[in-house]
Amino acid sequence: MRNRPPSSELPSMRWVLLAIIVVIIVGSGVAWLVQGRIGLVNQDGVVPATAVTLVRTESVGTILPTVPIGTPLPTALPTPVRRFLSMDELVYAADFDSQTIQQYVAAAGGDLAKTSLYVGGRRYAFGEALIGQTLYYSVSPKIILALIEYQVDLVTQPNQPTERYTWAVGYSGDSGKYAGFGAQLRWAAREIFYARRDLPTRPGLHFADGDAEAPAYLSSAQYVLARLLAPTIRADRLDVALWQFNETYERLFGALSVQIPGGSTPSVILHYPLKESFPVTSFFDHGGPFLMRNMPAGIVTYWGHNETDMAFAYNGHDGWDYAAAPPDPALAAAAGTVIFAGIADDNCETRAVIIDHGHDLRTLYWHLSQINVDVGQTIAQGEQIGVVGETGCAKGPHLHFGVQYRGVDIDPYGWCSNSPDPWAAHPAGIKSIWLWADRPSPCAPPPPGSVLVDSSDSQHFNVVGTVLKSVAAGVGNSSLYTAAQRGADRMRPWRARPFVTFAKSHWHAVIPNPGVYRVLVYIPYALSGLIDSDGVFYQIIHDKGTSEVAVDMQSVANEWVDLGTYQFDGGGDVILPMRDANGDRGVWADAVIWQPVTGAKP
């Protein structure tokens, strides 16, 4: 009997096993490379360009599985960089106003150009509504566009079902109270705002499958975006979701440059936005301008003082409030172009105007009762843009005046303390400088050719007939005050006054170059325990005699007061009688400056 031939099954099984082993080895190597590339993200959001290419699936909202973070890339690989979005790009998009947005979405292919939103009973085109929802909260409209494209493809895909507008940014939390296109956009803008506020502490993230700590390796911008994406994904998909969002942004607006964008220094071009001085009712809070309204935390003024008194208004204020009222006109602080004029969707339906002055500087005018300008209109400095009011969430009529540089709220009064500015040190903050072109900074050296005499200058300032008290505010971070004597009442001259030694403060300037000078006196904003006088009279002694100027210290606190322009040859004097009609009200003595005026006549 012949033997059976050898079976061919055994060699086949060996080849199968060998193939499986090879696949495992090769697959492990690929996984090792990929996980190292995804994990290599620094705090600026920069990774190697070869790190990972994530591809979004056709199914809306589908996220590719996350590859675990692992070993760094081998040093032998090429290292061109691929960058993640920066904080600057989260809050600012130059030259991307409402009209540009309308043109962009019309060309992008979706239906957003034909979409409108109701705000305050008026229908707005998508671009104008988006600007009204984003600029006040320091959010780049490009980020919101990228978000709705990432979640539901509304930017590029037409004829999308209504449900995709209803949940345009994917947020269905808070029992669905943010259902609706406008509400979704509003939630996203505010969440970015709050996430920027929370950067120092980085609270945990709320994922679709539960809460979790924010990974420590996230850059500031990645943490902010994680707050938007987390509610729509599982925690283990965060890394891939972030990079998919980054790719969506680049697909819409072009590849990010290797160099992270940034500005230099804002231009000093602003002028007072009202026709006359009004009392300040709220300061810019350097402790964090995030509208927190936490009074026990106080407000950090630009003098570096942490104030808790209600006189400085509420914690977290992002601008300056001036107590004007209708029919006082609101004026453009500098020349520029109107980029928003209407009802801002800030949850208060505020009448507002925003002006772009170029060089990355914008000013915001809130709570107007009337708007006199249109989007796209070119405005001159000092031109009326509206009428002060109390629309929106205002409590009493006033002008809320805000300034943004590269989309970030800044204090146009700068920072006058030797201690570090907490807003400049905040991850979402920025350095503030004096931006007023119409008056000098009280915390900087006087302008060239000017003569400054401060109340701390014992050679050129003296007081007689009273003892002055000091506070840490004003020019040189110090100023003096006293309770006024009751003087002659100019409205009721028959009223007698006590017979006391005549009290006065006296500033004397040595003028090196004869000529015409503008005389300014600084009135500090500080708490003395007294009501500031509403009627004192400065005497200016100049070459042609003596002039007298009445000043309401209540209205001009925190400002330089223009006492007029005069001829001085060799010397000049300013005298302030420390008295008023009522008596016992606070009278301040701080600094006087003589500024040369070229070509002016006294």
Q: Is residue 48 part of a domain?
A: no
Burial of 464 (0-12, 13-18, 19+ CB in 10 A): exposed
Q: Is residue 152 part of a domain?
A: yes
The more confidently predicted of residues 65 and 570 is 570
| Residue 546 and residue 416 in one domain | no
Q: Is residue 270 part of a domain?
A: no
Query: Closest Cα to residue 556, out of 576, 540, 534?
Result: 534
Strand pairing class (485-486; 579-580): parallel
CB 151 within 8 A of CB 232: yes
Interior CA angle at 340 toward 262 and 389, to 5°? 120
SS3 101: helix
CB 549 within 8 A of CB 538: yes
Q: Which residue has the tokens 């900087």?
A: 444
How confident is residue 27, by pLDDT bands cut at 50, 70 and 90?
A: low
Cis peptide before 327 (omega within 30 of 0): yes
* pLDDT one-digit tens code per residue, 493-544: 555 555 557 899 999 999 999 999 999 999 999 999 999 999 999 999 999 9
CA distance 170 to 152: 8
Q: Is residue 224 part of a domain?
A: yes
CA distance 509 to 557: 23
Burial of 254 (0-12, 13-18, 19+ CB in 10 A): exposed
How confident is residue 345, by pLDDT bands cut at 50, 70 and 90?
A: confident
Query: Closest Cα to residue 453, out of 528, 525, 520, 540?
Result: 520
SS3 196: helix
Domain at 326, CATH number: 2.70.70.10
| Residue 96 and residue 239 in one domain | yes
CB 377 within 8 A of CB 338: yes
| Residue 472 and residue 522 in one domain | yes
* Model pTM score: 0.83
| Residue 244 and residue 291 in one domain | no
CB 468 within 8 A of CB 434: no
For 441-597, strand residue ranges (E) read 451-454, 461-464, 469-471, 479-483, 485-486, 504-510, 515-523, 536-542, 545-551, 559-568, 571-577, 579-580, 586-589, 591-596
* Residue 232 CB partners (closer than 8 Å, separation 6+): 61, 151, 170, 171, 208
Question: Which region among 39-48, 502-511, 550-559, 567-576 has the lowest average model confidence (pLDDT)?
Answer: 39-48
CB 495 within 8 A of CB 544: no
Neighbours of 219 (CB within 10 A): 20
Q: Is residue 31 part of a domain?
A: no
CA distance 535 to 585: 10
CA distance 431 to 427: 11
- First-last CA distance in the chain: 136
Domain that residue 580 falls in? 451-596
| Residue 312 and residue 356 in one domain | yes
Neighbours of 29 (CB within 10 A): 10
| pLDDT(71) > 60 | no
CB 581 within 8 A of CB 434: no
Strand 586-589's sheet: what is its strand order? 469-471, 479-483, 586-589
CB 505 within 8 A of CB 482: no
How confident is residue 361, by pLDDT bands cut at 50, 70 and 90?
A: very high
Domain at 502, CATH number: 2.60.120.260
* pLDDT one-digit tens code per residue, 393-418: 788 899 999 999 999 999 999 999 99
CA distance 481 to 527: 10
| Residue 387 and residue 240 in one domain | no
| pLDDT(586) > 70 | yes
CA distance 151 to 146: 9
Q: What is residue 22's predicted lDDT score, i.e. its pLDDT?
A: 54
CB 578 within 8 A of CB 587: yes
| Residue 399 and residue 529 in one domain | no
Question: Which region among 57-61, 71-75, 274-278, 567-571 has the lowest average model confidence (pLDDT)?
Answer: 57-61
CA distance 521 to 574: 9
* Residue 311 CB partners (closer than 8 Å, separation 6+): 527
| Residue 522 and residue 572 in one domain | yes
| pLDDT(33) > 60 | no
409 membership: H or E segment, kind and range: strand 408-410
| pLDDT(244) > 90 | yes
Neighbours of 147 (CB within 10 A): 26
SS3 content of the chain, % helix, strand, coil (to 5): 25, 25, 50
Q: What is residue 500's predicted lDDT score, i.e. its pLDDT?
A: 58
Q: Is residue 54 part of a domain?
A: no
| Residue 410 and residue 478 in one domain | no
* Residue 337 CB partners (closer than 8 Å, separation 6+): 97, 355, 356, 376, 377, 378, 379
| Residue 136 and residue 224 in one domain | yes
| Residue 249 and residue 306 in one domain | no
| Residue 288 and residue 333 in one domain | yes
Interior CA angle at 534 toward 532 and 539, to 5°? 105
How confident is residue 344, by pLDDT bands cut at 50, 70 and 90?
A: confident
CA distance 34 to 296: 50
Query: Closest Cα to residue 453, out of 564, 554, 595?
Result: 595
Q: Is residue 444 part of a domain?
A: no
Q: Is residue 199 part of a domain?
A: yes
The number of domains in the chain is 3
CA distances to 34, 191, 223, 250 from 48, in Å: 12, 29, 20, 16
* pLDDT one-digit tens code per residue, 417-476: 999 999 999 999 999 999 999 999 999 999 999 999 999 999 999 999 999 999 999 998
Question: Which region among 53-67, 225-239, 277-291, 434-448 has the lowest average model confidence (pLDDT)?
Answer: 53-67
Q: Which residue has the tokens 């009762």?
A: 369
CA distance 480 to 471: 6
